A and B are shown apart, each in its own frame.
Chain A
Amino acid sequence: MAEIGSFALLLALALSVYSFVAGIIALAFQNRTSLQLASATAGRGALPASLEESPLITTIRQASERIGETARRAGIATFAAVLLASVVLVICAFRDDFSIAYILHHSNRALPGPYKFAVLWSGQEGSLLFWSLLLAAYGFVLRLRYKTDPRLFAYASVVLSGVQIFFLLLLNFAAHPFAIVQGTIPAEGNGLNPLLQYPEMVIHPPMLYLGYVGFTIPFAFALGALIMKYPGEKWIHITRRWTMVTWAFLTCGVFLGAHWAYSVLGWGGYWGWDPVENASLMPWLTGTAFLHSVMMQEKRGMLKMWNMWLVFATFWLAILGTFLTRSGIISSVHAFAQSSIGDWFAWFLAITLVVFLFFFFKNKSHLRSEHKLESLVSRESSFLFNNLLFVLLCFTVLWGTWFPKISELVQGNKVTVGAPFYNRVAIPVALLLLILTAVGPLLAWRKTSLESLKRNFMWPTIGAIVVAIFLMITPQSWGSAFGLKPWQDVSYFYSLMAIALSVLVTLTVASEFYRGGRVISKHTGQGMFASMVQLTHRNTRRYGGYIVHFGVVVVIIGFAGAAFNQDKEMEMKNGDKMTIGPYTLICRSSTEDDTPDHYSQWAILDVFKGGKQIDTMTPERRFYHASQQTSTMPDIRSTLNEDLYVVFEGLNQDNGHPILKAHLNALVMWIWMGVWIMLIGTVLALIPNAPAPVRVPAPARLERAQATPVATGD
């Protein structure tokens, strides 16, 4: 089997190289014939029939089209070859083929089936193969849809092939997933890292990788459009949809990772500002900035250069994240084993930067903006500030991630850059961003009168202030977020601000739906809800976007809950009580179990609230035989108000009593609900608009013959 996998990888590399080289040759010849025809046209005023039908040009054009077609098909065949290699690796995992070093190090016989499938992305070599597979799959879809714009797609295909070649070179020569074990083949494998033996790990990496890899597509289109000096903004329309899909995958991947960390790592949190977590956040931030600024280019023809940079930065940061995790240059709890492939990534990053810079400076005149700005108080300005804050957040995360290394270079000693740093620096910026999220939708393109801004903004502001005061004056016994006294602690102040601003955003979003729904309701006589549904369907992108904003504020409310977290640790023998918040935990018993895969210990706890038993919890701790590693399995009882999160930390070696740690984590469920809302909003935004009956009476003062504008405009 290993030979088949190795052959498939070599074949994939050969096909990618062919697709790349043949693609370039085809485009070069097509450009040449186009140039010849263009110069002939320019020189003679009109193209003579003899030249248009010149056998030489016709032959060259036909030949280049045929070569281009073979390049496209080679790209499609690359997908088949990489898929074959991936299938072979999965089959080897299911067959417990420990002659393959990768399977030996990441699987064992007793490993449950779904995790054997997940072995494909559980280690360095496999995850690179998986990356390559996803890239090939994206390329497959792109090459099948080439008729949308054959020339642009041909350029994008060449760029994709270039990236694919890099990953296949890595797989064939630096991190071979089919490397054979030397000497005697062990009868049992080392097993999968226990932290990865969790259902979400079967979907978290694919989602994250779909996000990372997916940003190659917008980059490929952007670079292609830049190289060919693509006329118009069609490439932006094509790219935007790909970006939204990719963004949704990355969002899903990032939050699945947070949920996995929360459910598995047992420290009670979901985000630790680890370099690997930061690596996933950075492209998300620039990708989000792009999704906003792209509207400026579509509607007003502005920010063409900036958008090009954002697309490139997003792709580059996705690769940089991979470089960080693979090179060992920055220490992380997630990092893969340190290896030489970090150098490969460093070179790849440098080459892509040089290629991008070359074409950017060569063709930047093509990206000049055409439009002027009329007012500071306009949608355009809000997008500029929105982009500033997103990019600044990205810079802050990048700066914080690299600062230990920079400090080591400058002052000779490393420092730690953890959560306290990000809380101090990123939270104020995030709050500013939240204010913009509230104000932005109320601003019109070109110019907004202060009067209308005040009119639209007053009631949401009053609503947010009322909610803030309500949260301050209510008793704490109502729940975690009530009785908030912002003067007691800066974290309470931030939380109150975050919740109040979230309410502000929610009310502005709701007012947008209400105003639009009211107009439709007035014209059609439908009920308000039906009108709002119709409104959304008529402009899915705008109203889907608002739903995404609503999802974001729900997530922010969840984050704000972190200020009210509590925890307690206790050694508990049978019958012992622990009280945390409104809950009382009574240890009924502790027990243990042994399976072929793992040995486990757990406690059985009865949970009481208000004197009444409401649940039984069983936090667990496992010891995996194959990997000889321990893992916690916290038990989590989630409600809208708070999560009761109990961890079995281990046994007291002297008396054998279990040591348990309980966390009361406020509003965590809001984070996961918010993510669902964000994804629903994204899906809505991807649905094509329903046609709306529009009546536009022609202005009477314009004569038909005069109505031929030559000015640029939307």
Chain B
Amino acid sequence: MSRLLNPLSSLGAPLFASFARSGFPGRKLAQALLLSAAVFLLLGAGDPATRFTELGHQLMCICGCNQILLECNHVGCPASDGMRNELMASLTRGDSDSLVEQGFVQKYGPTVLAAPTTKGFDRAAYIMPFAALFLGFGLIVLVIRSWKNRPSPAIADGLTPVRGAELEQFRDQARKETDL
């Protein structure tokens, strides 16, 4: 166990040092995370069996069962066996992923793809959720700002508002005694 923890501590120390300095993980940390995510996303095995599985899960069976091609499970399906053979033939020929998909779209129409493409209007399918995320994020930041800038409620005459460490102390006490 200690063997496991040692490399972690050397890796974790700068991470938490940066956390402590800036409050939240800093820009370098974000860049490192983005870079590792990109590396993970771009790396991938390219052997035919893996490609067959991956592409087979990007295509739909067109028999009307509404299932992913490799998940269509009825014996005697008029479409799936032929489509799987076509897919395997394309991969054996060495066609690229996009060429395989284009071939299927030309033959069976755009509904053969299990997800919208990233071209033309189809792009909107992917853009909208992330646009909504950024819009929502921006809105929340604005809301938080406006709420932070609201004036504090009035205090009755004769009472001194409690601030700083004393306020934190009372809050801690209140949390302990009411939240348990």
Contact = CB atoms under 8 A, between A and B. Distances in A.
Contacts of B121: 407, 410-411
Given A420-B57, A649-B75, A650-B75, A519 B180 contact: yes
Nearest to B112: A416
B32 interface: no
Q: Which range holds the interface residue count of chain A?
A: 35 or more
Contacts of B20: 454
Contacts of B110: 413-416
Given A385-B140, A388-B140, A421-B125, A712 B67 contact: no
Contacts of A376: 144, 148
Centre residue among B70, B121, B129, B179 by max chain A CB count within 10 A: B129
Q: Is the interface of B mostly helix, strand, loop or mixed?
A: helix
A417 B125 contact: yes
A695 B180 CA distance: 13
Contacts of B140: 381, 384-385, 388
Centre residue among B144, B154, B155, B176 by max chain A CB count within 10 A: B144
B159 A709 contact: yes
A493 B41 contact: yes
Contact of B45 (A395, A488, A710): A488
B41 A490 contact: yes
Contact of B171 (A399, A446, A567): A446
Interface string B74-96: 11100000000000000000000
Contacts, number: 193
Given A396-B129, A418-B115, A711 B73 contact: no
Contact of B126 (A385, A415, A425, A650): A425
A466 B60 contact: no
A493 B136 contact: no
Interface stretch (A59-67, A90-98, A191-199, A263-271): A263-271
A266 B122 contact: no
Interface in B3-29: 4-5, 8, 12, 16, 19-20, 23
B73 to A, nearest CB: 5
B180 A419 contact: no
A608 interface: no
Contacts of B30: none
B178 interface: yes
Given A417-B125, A418-B114, A424-B115, A711 B154 contact: yes
B129 A425 contact: yes
Interface stretch (A22-30, A125-133, A357-365, A535-543): A535-543
A601 B37 CA distance: 49
A373 B16 CA distance: 28
A418 B114 CA distance: 5
Contacts of B137: 388
Given A421-B125, A469-B8, A710 B156 contact: yes
A148 interface: no
B144 A421 contact: no
B113 A416 contact: yes
Centre residue among B125, B179, B180 by max chain A CB count within 10 A: B180
Contacts of B31: none
Contact of B66 (A332, A385, A414, A488): A332
B2 to A, nearest CB: 12
Interface string A357-391: 00000000000010111111100010011001001
A403 B116 contact: yes
Contact of A520 (B57, B125, B180): B180
Contacts of A650: 74-76
A708 interface: yes
A106 interface: no
A447 B171 CA distance: 10
B136 A391 contact: yes
Contacts of A712: 153
Interface string A448-492: 011000100010001001100110000000000000001111100
Interface residues of B, number: 72
A388 B175 contact: no
B171 A416 contact: no
A400 B124 CA distance: 11
Nearest to A621: B75
Given A415-B110, A444-B171, A470 B4 contact: yes
Given A399-B128, A419-B68, A454-B19, A710 B115 contact: no
Contacts of B152: 372
A355 interface: no
Contacts of A469: 4, 8
A419 B39 CA distance: 23
B107 interface: no
A416 B67 contact: no
Contacts of B147: 302, 369, 371-373
B12 A465 contact: yes
Given A373-B147, A516-B180, A429 B129 contact: yes
A466 B144 CA distance: 35
Interface string A478-518: 00000000111110010000000000000000000000100
A65 to B, nearest CB: 39
Interface string A402-446: 010001001101111111110011000100000000000000101
A713 B171 contact: no
Contacts of B8: 462, 465-466, 469
B115 A421 contact: yes
Interface in B111-151: 111-117, 120-122, 125-126, 128-130, 132-133, 136-137, 140, 143-144, 147-148, 150-151
B66 A661 contact: no
B71 interface: yes
20 contacts: A373-B147, A385-B140, A395-B132, A407-B125, A413-B109, A415-B110, A416-B113, A419-B57, A421-B114, A421-B115, A421-B116, A487-B40, A516-B180, A538-B180, A649-B74, A650-B76, A695-B177, A708-B156, A711-B155, A711-B156
Those 9 A-B pairs whose CB atoms lie nearest each other, nearest first: A650-B75, A373-B147, A372-B150, A421-B115, A420-B115, A418-B114, A711-B153, A493-B40, A396-B129
Given A267-B71, A416-B112, A661-B73, 12 more contacts: A274-B66, A332-B66, A369-B147, A375-B148, A388-B133, A407-B116, A420-B58, A421-B126, A429-B133, A649-B74, A653-B76, A711-B153
